[in-house]
């Protein structure tokens, strides 16, 4: 739901903001303004739907998107050009400016409808065709977004009328500049994709930088609305208590009524903008972030080269993640979980890695274990068994209320993981101590990495590795598949 609500706000917020601002600026005949604006927006939205359907059927989506954004950029520039010239006293320019404003709004609605349908095509409302909770929830997010944006247009228009023409012009210029920046990037990218413009590193870098920070545009647009609200509140006609007391009863009621109405407009604006701001912040800071695995508790082997975990600590049915650092710095993650639903302890002990998906790891959500790489739900009683997206089994034993894992078995799983930690190692030829990540030379043999202080030491090792490896066992590669250890 939150994704569709945010997408609706991001796509239609520029249209809602500029509609309110332009209605406040040009102020045509009161009875006609709502009808003209409604016709303009409806025409643009309908045209956007038609263009999308035609472009989809003809497989010209890139061309259509490029031309639509180009029309928005051009109409925004033309509209901005009239802001410095047109006004109520310049009747012809006033009519021209109001006509350009209506065309600009139609172009905005056109590209908004096209972009929104494109997003819906990329993210289906539901995975099945039947009515279900997912469909209702996602549709509710879209409707909530439209409701907030529909409320924002008259609020912005009212606040705009309470500010000076200079403030309005500045607000429209800033909102249009954001739109032109984003639209120009879309046009530039489209032209390069269509090979109508040469692809260069500078142009590609420009597109990448604007795209990277485009998530900030809705915040800036909401900031414009908030600034208008504060300026209108600060510029309202203040009435002191003494002045109210000196007024007649009817006049006093009117004055208080005006104050209350302005405060309601102000509160309504803050409510609509505040809800949108809260939704965007929640999405950007929390909801859109990919889930992460919990921190692993690092364990070390005892004098018998065994790693021990007390069963009493892991009987609760939750995922308990641990790590072990090998002698060459590989961080091997593994977790333990009680697979029994009752009081009996049936402990699953596995590497925190999947043979198919790699070492992104697993997380627990309530009673489900989920593979982060592919979002597959793992049947908890099957944890500890090989196959599919199940985590890779880890050899272990249970002794005296403890799960016991041999360090050699953890070491064999180092090739399932990519993380390497900085530790102290020795050159197998000279015995000199080195820092693994800072060693000048390294060499991989039988799945292990060895570090050397000099090229001469490395060459001696390459000539006869068995002489220096000793009894160390080879490690498995993940691509070799799971092998019982």
pLDDT tens string 132-158:
677 788 888 889 889 988 888 888 888
C-alpha 360/C-alpha 292 separation (Å) is: 9
pLDDT recorded at residue 291: 77
Written as six digits, the tokens of 415 are 């090739």
User: 3, exposed or middle or buried, with CB in 10 Å at 0-12, 13-18, 19+?
Assistant: middle
Closest C-alpha among 281, 286, 3 to residue 120? 3
415-429: average pLDDT: 87
Q: Look at residue 283 in the predicted model and tell me its pLDDT.
A: 86
The most confident of the ranges 89-103, 228-242, 297-311 is 297-311
Query: 8: closest CA among 138, 104, 180, 124?
Result: 138
**Cα 44 vs. chain centroid, distance in angstroms?**
29
Look at the alpha carbons of 176, 182, 188, 193 in this order and tell me if their dihedral is positive or negative: negative
Cα(298)–Cα(332) distance, rounded to whole angstroms?
A: 10
Q: Helices 61-83 and 91-122, interaxial angle, to 10°?
A: 150
Q: Which two tokens stand for residue 302?
A: 């005892």
Q: What is the separation of C-alpha 360 from the centre of its chain, rounded to a whole number of angstroms?
A: 19
Q: CB of 436 within 8 A of CB of 425?
A: yes
pLDDT at 476: 58
Q: What local confidence, expressed as pLDDT, does residue 480 receive?
A: 45
User: What pTM does this model have?
Assistant: 0.67
User: Can you say whether the dihedral through the CA atoms of 139, 104, 102, 40 is positive or negative?
Assistant: negative
pLDDT band at 240 (very low <50, low <70, confident <90, very high): low
Q: For residue 481, which phi and psi values (nearest 5 degrees)?
A: 90, 165
- The whole-angstrom separation of Cα 75 and Cα 187 is 14
- Do the beta carbons of residue 52 and residue 114 sit within 8 Å? yes
Domain architecture of the chain: domains with CATH: 2-287 (no CATH), 297-416 (2.102.10), 424-480 (no CATH)
Token pair 């038609």: residue: 50
The two three-digit tokens of residue 122, written as one number: 């990329």
The per-residue pLDDT for 347 is 87
Rounded to an integer, what distance in angstroms lies between the CA atom of residue 97 and that of residue 85? 9
- What is the per-residue pLDDT across 44-86, written as a single tens digit (0 to 9) for each? 999 999 999 999 998 899 999 999 999 999 998 888 777 766 5
For 380, which DSSP code? Answer: G
CA distance 353 to 317: 19
Q: Tens digit of pLDDT for each residue in 165-223?
A: 888 888 888 999 999 999 999 999 999 988 888 888 888 898 888 888 888 999 999 99
Q: What is the pLDDT of residue 481?
A: 45
Neighbours of 5 (CB within 10 A): 24
266-296 pLDDT per residue, tens: 888 888 888 889 989 988 888 777 778 888 9
């Amino acid at each position: 739901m939150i994704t569709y609500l945010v997408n609706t706000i991001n796509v239609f917020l520029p249209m809602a903001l500029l509609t309110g601002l332009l209605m406040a600026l040009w102020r045509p005949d009161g009875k006609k303004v709502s009808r003209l604006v409604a016709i303009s927006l409806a025409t643009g939205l309908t045209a956007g739907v038609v263009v999308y359907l035609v472009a989809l059927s003809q497989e010209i989506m890139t061309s259509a998107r490029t031309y639509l954004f180009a029309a928005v950029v051009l109409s925004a520039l033309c509209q901005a050009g009239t802001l410095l010239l047109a006004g109520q006293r310049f009747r012809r320019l006033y009519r021209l400016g109001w006509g350009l404003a209506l065309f600009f709004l139609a172009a905005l609605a056109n590209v908004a409808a096209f972009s929104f349908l494109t997003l819906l095509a990329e993210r289906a409302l539901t995975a099945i065709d039947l009515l279900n909770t997912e469909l209702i929830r996602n549709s509710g997010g879209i409707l909530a977004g439209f409701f907030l944006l529909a409320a924002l247009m008259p609020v912005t228009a009212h606040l705009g009328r309470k500010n000076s023409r200079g403030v309005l012009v500045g607000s429209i210029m800033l909102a249009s500049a954001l739109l032109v920046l984003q639209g120009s990037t879309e046009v530039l990218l489209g032209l390069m994709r269509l090979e109508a413009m040469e692809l260069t590193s500078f142009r590609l870098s420009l597109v990448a930088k604007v795209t990277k920070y485009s998530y900030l545009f809705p915040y800036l647009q909401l900031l414009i609305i908030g600034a208008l609200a504060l300026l209108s509140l600060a510029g309202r006609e203040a009435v002191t208590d003494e002045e109210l007391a000196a007024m007649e009863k009817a006049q006093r009621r009117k004055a208080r009524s005006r104050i209350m109405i302005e405060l309601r407009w102000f509160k309504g604006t803050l409510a609509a903008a505040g809800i949108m701001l809260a939704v965007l912040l929640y999405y950007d800071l929390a909801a859109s972030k990919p889930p992460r695995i919990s921190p692993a508790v690092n364990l070390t082997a005892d004098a018998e080269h065994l790693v021990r975990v007390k069963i009493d600590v892991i009987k609760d049915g939750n995922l308990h993640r641990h790590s072990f650092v090998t002698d060459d710095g590989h961080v091997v993650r593994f977790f333990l979980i009680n697979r029994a639903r009752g009081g009996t302890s049936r402990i699953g002990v596995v590497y925190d890695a999947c043979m198919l998906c790699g070492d992104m790891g697993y997380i627990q959500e309530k009673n489900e274990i989920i593979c982060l790489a592919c979002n597959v739900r793992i049947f908890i009683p099957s944890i500890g068994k090989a196959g599919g997206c199940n985590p890779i089994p880890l050899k272990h034993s249970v002794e005296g209320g403890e799960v016991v894992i041999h360090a050699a078995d953890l070491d064999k799983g180092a090739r399932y993981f990519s993380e390497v930690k900085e530790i102290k190692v020795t050159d197998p030829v000279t015995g000199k101590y080195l820092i693994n990540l800072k060693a000048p030379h390294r060499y991989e043999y039988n799945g292990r990495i060895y570090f050397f202080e000099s090229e001469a030491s490395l060459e001696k090792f390459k000539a006869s590795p068995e002489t220096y490896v000793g009894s160390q066992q080879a490690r498995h590669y993940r691509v070799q598949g799971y092998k019982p250890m």
